């Protein structure tokens, strides 16, 4: 074999092994959230916002409760949890509340959350909050996605009543698609494109997709 050919081969081998070692710097979930959400409508049929109830897994709930003083041990009232709820919504802002809305293909923005509080039941914390849209919209199609692009948090919608439309016009139809249920004509993320770094939509693989069509 020709020397330069051998060199090339050696380098390719090296680059391949290297790519395996480096790959990409994505996280895997450490926090699990069971969500149930409501799409809120005004009387005129326009969408005003989203109401979320996110239940954290017991390990994260315990972590979040670390150092919080209560009158009765193991019992956390809404008032005692208010500072933590405040911290939650403030921190979630950085991540866009993991809620991404598009009205007829156009990105919509949310305002600061309102009506937020935490409750504690069966060793799990549930964060309730309302995300009002900056401007209410009345699209033919609303696309709502809930996920963590970095996949540090695994969002799973509740088995029972994952999404509700509250006050929606009767003609509106809601479709809900869980991640990985294979209904999308999805491109498979195999080792090959993982290694090549073609994973810009990494977290999006775990997106929960809600679409509401109002003809």
Partner 1 sequence: MRPESRSVVMRGLTVCIAAVVVILALDGAVNVLMAQTPFGAPRPSGAEPQVGGIVGWLLAKQSEFYREMSSTIRAAKSDGSAVWTLLAISFAYGIFHAAGPGHGKAVISSYLVANQETARRGIVLSFASALMQSLVAVLIVGICAWLLNATAKTMCNAEKVIEIASYALIAAFGARLVWTKGGGFMRALQATQPAPAMAAVAHHEHAGHGHDHHHHEPSHIHAHGAHHEHAHEHGHVHDEHCGHSHGPAPSELAGPGGWQRGLGAIFAVGIRPCSGAILVLVFALAQGMFWAGIAATFVMGLGTAITVATIAIIAVSAKDLARRLSGGSEGGGALVMRGVEFGAAGLVLLFGGGLLFGYIAAERVTCF
Reported as type and span, the H/E element at residue 63 is: helix 58-65
Structure token pair of residue 38: 């409501």
Neighbours of 111 (CB within 10 A): 12
Residue pair 95/75 in contact by the 8 Å Cβ criterion: no
**Candidate ranges 39-47, 128-136, 164-172, 185-193; the one touching partner 1 (CB under 8 A):** 185-193
Minimum CB distance to partner 1 smaller for 47 or for 168: 47
Does the protein bind partner 1 through residue 7 (CB under 8 A)?
yes
Q: How far apart are CA 129 and CA 82, in angstroms?
A: 12
Provide, rounded to whole angstroms, the least separation between the CB of residue 169 and partner 1.
27
Minimum CB distance to partner 1 smaller for 19 or for 130: 19
Q: Site mask, partner 1, residues 72-91, x = CB under 8 A? A: ---------------xx--x
Enumerate residues 85-124 that contact partner 1 by CB under 8 A. 87-88, 91-92, 94-96, 100, 107
Among 70, 77, 135, 196, binds partner 1 (CB under 8 A): 196
Among 154, 162, 172, 178, binds partner 1 (CB under 8 A): 154
Separation in Å, CA 113 to CA 91, 124, 201 = 11, 22, 26
Of the candidates 140, 151, 142, 138, the residue with the CA atom closest to the CA atom of residue 179: 151
């Amino acid at each position: 074999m020709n020397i330069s050919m051998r060199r090339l081969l050696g380098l390719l081998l090296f680059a391949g092994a290297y790519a395996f070692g480096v790959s990409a710097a994505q996280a895997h979930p450490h926090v699990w959230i069971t969500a149930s959400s409501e799409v809120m409508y005004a009387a005129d049929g326009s969408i005003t916002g989203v109401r979320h109830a996110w239940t954290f897994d017991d390990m994260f709930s315990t972590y979040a409760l670390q150092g919080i003083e209560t009158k009765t041990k193991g019992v956390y009232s809404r008032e005692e949890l208010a500072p933590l709820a405040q911290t939650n919504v403030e921190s979630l802002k950085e991540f866009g509340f993991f809620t991404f809305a598009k009205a007829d293909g156009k990105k919509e923005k949310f305002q600061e959350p309102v009506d937020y509080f935490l409750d504690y039941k069966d060793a799990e914390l549930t964060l309730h909050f309302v995300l009002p849209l900056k401007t209410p919209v009345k699209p033919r199609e609303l696309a709502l996605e809930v996920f963590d692009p970095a996949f540090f948090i695994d969002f799973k919608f509740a088995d029972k009543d994952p999404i509700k439309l509250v006050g929606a016009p009767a003609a509106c139809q809601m479709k809900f698609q869980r991640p990985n249920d294979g209904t999308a004509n999805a491109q498979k993320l195999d080792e090959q494109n993982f290694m090549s770094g073609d994973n810009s939509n990494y977290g999006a693989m775990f997106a929960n997709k809600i679409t509401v069509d109002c003809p």
